[in-house]
A and B are shown apart, each in its own frame.
Chain A
């Protein structure tokens, strides 16, 4: 009787935790596999425990090259997409002009289009225009799909901002530039940073669009895809786990920093 009462109160939380477990399971497996010495190249099962993979994460130099390339692409795409998207967000929130709804649709459509379609259409264009595919075509493609996410993220932050704060700044002798620099930018910055982080993770982790626009250039996801057919070096799991830990630390630090100081 008491058990059923306990269950009735908590069943929802129990279901939620089970679902979270489902979400977490592969991450745990990746972490475990990073300490695994597989019995054969094509095996996905546990062999024996080792820390060698962590000692020599770049034993497969191709993988680390691909990793570095992904970081470079992610960085470039993030910078360009964040700038372009932020400018667009300002125009969309702060100005009324002809063609505003058209721009909104143009921003929305890439997010509503499956990645295969984005990838294949760019491939069709690059081939038709005779553009050789490689590093720069990947950057161009990544900027394209990141811009929309930046616009949406920054727009939300801007729309939630009180216009009177800027008026107050102007009233207190700040000219247009000072108002932007001292009030608007600091208040919108969290949105811009969030948009940049989102862009980087979208770009860094992208496989499908990259697959169609990369030519022979290999990014980290492309490397993993190729290796999946030939046999995965266990260091892939080291990278996966390290990424997870670094990202989690960043989240932890930023949430500590956000706590109000008394």
Chain B
């Protein structure tokens, strides 16, 4: 227990070529990443993409088939879970049903022989706004309260890294929103590295400094939420994080700072800085909210590019209206028009043109 060095300055969490196979299946496949000290890092992916397995390997609950887990300069790959300065907020919390809230929170301190525990536990319970809940049993708490006990139980140990496994998944929407804000506040307050696993893209974007999008055991893209959203690296990311309209085409090289693309007989261009490929089969992408709907091709503003089609559907979404535009070659583009009160609704069945500023488009290699 004494090997638990909370005095040593925590370093970055690094995963090096981490791999976990279950039989023939690679749940995590040669994954490498660095989580900066004190950052709020989100691992985002659909269920079964290997994100929870990655988390469990950091916690020590799963042994990697190969690869290493490093904390600062320390290799913790072979350490048992109870020897790691890492704590976990489990999915559906795993609170000990036979212990009171107080004893749940005190559990880690007691195991490490820290005494007295009262001050620490009380302080932590008030940090998560559960003053006076100490003597209750977990079964007597609501979902949100249980979630906060789980958080307090992990944080009271002042881990160098806090792992959160879908911590808000069991909560209803309003509570989830509130807890998101609260989690973020607590993270800023305690300054601990948070690694947050979630399948909820909105949760990842709003909370994390850095998001890594996982797919089939690998990381597809990693970066600041806005960077990933504005310039996705792959088609998977483009569609998993928000929606994208993707047009298949052929890039024909750079001309005047732009990559020239031919798609469905029309020519488009994308600035070089927003292209992942300059030659060969590509996908031209534009986010639905970056598209504007105009009545015909001659109403397209100067410098914008466009495609024309027939409006097949309009769904009112509250803040915006989503139009579906069927193009001549049968693709369907999604267009969000903000309900700002300045635009008139476009009737279903009418022809229209969707246009965009080339600086808002992005170009992906078709093989990704």
Contact = CB atoms under 8 A, between A and B. Distances in A.
Interface of A: 162, 164-165, 167-175, 178, 182-183, 186-187, 260, 262
A216 B325 CA distance: 95
Given A175-B111, A260-B139, 7 more contacts: A164-B94, A171-B154, A172-B111, A172-B157, A173-B157, A175-B82, A262-B140
B4 interface: yes
B88 interface: yes
B140 A165 contact: no
A170 B90 contact: no
Interface in B316-358: none
A174 B111 contact: yes
Interface in B148-183: 153-154, 157
Contact of A173 (B1, B61, B137, B139): B1
A165 B94 contact: yes
B82 A171 contact: yes
B62 to A, nearest CB: 10
Top 6 A-B residue pairs of the complex, sorted by shortest distance between their CB atoms: A172-B108, A164-B94, A173-B111, A168-B94, A170-B81, A173-B82
25 contacts: A164-B92, A165-B94, A165-B97, A167-B94, A168-B90, A168-B95, A169-B107, A170-B81, A170-B82, A171-B61, A171-B81, A171-B88, A171-B154, A172-B107, A173-B108, A174-B111, A175-B111, A178-B82, A182-B111, A183-B96, A186-B98, A187-B97, A260-B137, A260-B139, A262-B140
Nearest to B59: A171
Nearest to B98: A186
A170 B1 CA distance: 12
Chain B interface extent, by class: 20 to 34
B87 interface: yes
A179 to B, nearest CB: 8
B132 to A, nearest CB: 14
Contacts, number: 69
Nearest to A179: B82
Contact of B112 (A164, A165, A168, A173): A173
B80 interface: yes
B113 to A, nearest CB: 9
Residue of A167, A168, A182, A260 contacting most chain B CB atoms (<10 Å) = A168
A127 to B, nearest CB: 49
Residue of B86, B108, B153, B157 contacting most chain A CB atoms (<10 Å) = B108
Nearest to B163: A171
Given A178-B111, A260-B140, A173 B90 contact: no
Interface in B76-124: 80-82, 86-88, 90-92, 94-98, 107-108, 111-112
A172 B153 contact: yes
Nearest to A161: B97
Contacts of B107: 169, 172, 174, 182
B4 A170 contact: no
A165 B111 CA distance: 15
Contacts of B92: 164
A179 B140 CA distance: 24
Residue of B82, B91, B112, B154 contacting most chain A CB atoms (<10 Å) = B82
A169 to B, nearest CB: 7
A118 B79 CA distance: 50
A170 B94 contact: no
A171 B56 CA distance: 10
Contact of A167 (B4, B81, B95, B137): B81
Nearest to A261: B137
A173 B87 CA distance: 9
Interface in B218-250: none
A171 B91 CA distance: 14
A175 B98 CA distance: 19
Contacts of A168: 88, 90, 94-96
A164 B82 CA distance: 14
Contacts of A171: 59-61, 81-82, 86-88, 90, 154
A169 B97 CA distance: 12
Nearest to A187: B98
A129 to B, nearest CB: 47
Contacts of B81: 167, 170-171
Nearest to B1: A173
Nearest to A163: B94
